[in-house]
Structure 1
Amino acid sequence: MKILMDGSDVDAFRYLNDYSPLDGVTTNPSILAKGKGTAEEQVLQIADLLDKQQNLHVQVVSVKYEQMVEEAKRISKALSRNVFIKIPVSPDGLKAVRSLRGDGINTTVTGVYTTMQAVMAAKAGAAYVAPYINRIDLAHGNSEIVIKQIVQTFRTYGFSTKVLAASFKNTRQVISVMEAGVEEVTLSADLLKNLIHHKETDTSIEAFTEDFTSRFENSNEMFLK
């Protein structure tokens, strides 16, 4: 199970990666539009922080086939590391995926709402598909059913394409896709912080410290010299 940060905030990535090693970063045009600096600066700063085992997913802005391919090649050339180019699921997008695969450029098909979109992306040669969990539910779909169908279909037909689930609003949704067998998830910095937070845990920690310091002369450490 791999967990990535969905964002471009380098400070947030450093903080989270320090105590819970992340498996990479995903960005998209909307994220970069809200970030600090140019889009290129944000992507390069994130790329510099990642080690060789951590993946980076960067999305094209173009919507037409020729422009998508050209933009994908520019992004790949600009980064001195392996990168997965995010391509929206559309006729032009899937055509671009097929072309880029022939050039040895890995792609992540994004904006996936249905099982058949995921299947067609896999057949086109995508390395990843990125279903939008919360947005599927908001669009009156059932993300739990869609995710289970995608995972099972990929296994049944032997697709090498992996599922990178995106668009989460709570940890319940994350647990649900884990139960379905999804290989990877990408989460906002705020949701990543909440993965290990529970108010009862905080209460327990406070009680441990209070009990110890009241008994041992207000010391809050053991084996002091």
Structure 2
Amino acid sequence: VATALGICYNGIGGPVGLGLPLYAASGPYLAAGVSSTLESAASAGRLGSDTYKRLALFLTEFNLCGLTTILLAIGGTTLRQQLFYVLSLASLLSLSPTLAGYKNGGGKLFGDIGGVIKEFFTCKNLNGFIYLGGTWFVAALKVLKIVDIVNLVIEGNPAKTLATRAVRLGRLALLTGTMLVLKSAADRDRLEGTTFIDLNILSSAVFGCMAFYIKTIRGALTPLVYASAGFSAFTALNAINSMIKKSKK
């Protein structure tokens, strides 16, 4: 969270305003939230659940992107390069609850990879269908980012350019996993759980930052802006609805 605030503070006055720093900060913010969720689950001995195994799987992907960013950005001297360095370092720090979870989960942290893949192609109700749409939306952006990185490598771009793409890839990877976990919870009518309320709030914030960033750099309300804003509103409303239902029990 401190890293996210630092990125926003240092990004004020940049050429694109707060759009870029807010979106950049949403990565460590999401990682901090997911890490906190995993840490709580580890303390309660609940890491054997598929929910936490899958969160840990995608958090690890975020961490690996962070490690790649550090290796690529070493030696950066500009403020922007230093910000990405700090961001990627934060992602590595979030690796600790993941490793702790692996130990407490009896060596079965990541669960059934086949089950994760299956979740991408199934849904059982309208809520699950919309979450699945959000999952595929972010997954498509993730694939495009991978293609972008491959093209940059082929073109011989400098390592520091690749570092910025790596950290963006990590953010998309973690958001994909978060939405997939929420889709699974929606399928089981479990969105009123504290974990899923938190994940909805986190996802809403990241989608909101994404919409603001795209609007800032494009200067127009493009379909990507509408889609991001729509998923931000959807997850926020589900969080609010779940909190209301939970308070009445």
Coarse TM-score class (shorter-chain normalised)? under 0.3
Compare the two structures and name the one with the higher strand fraction: 1
Structure with more helix by fraction = 2
Tell me the TM-score normalized by structure 2: 0.26
Name the TM-score, length of structure 1 as normaliser: 0.27
Structure with more relative contact order (C-alpha pairs < 8 Å, separation 6 or more):
2
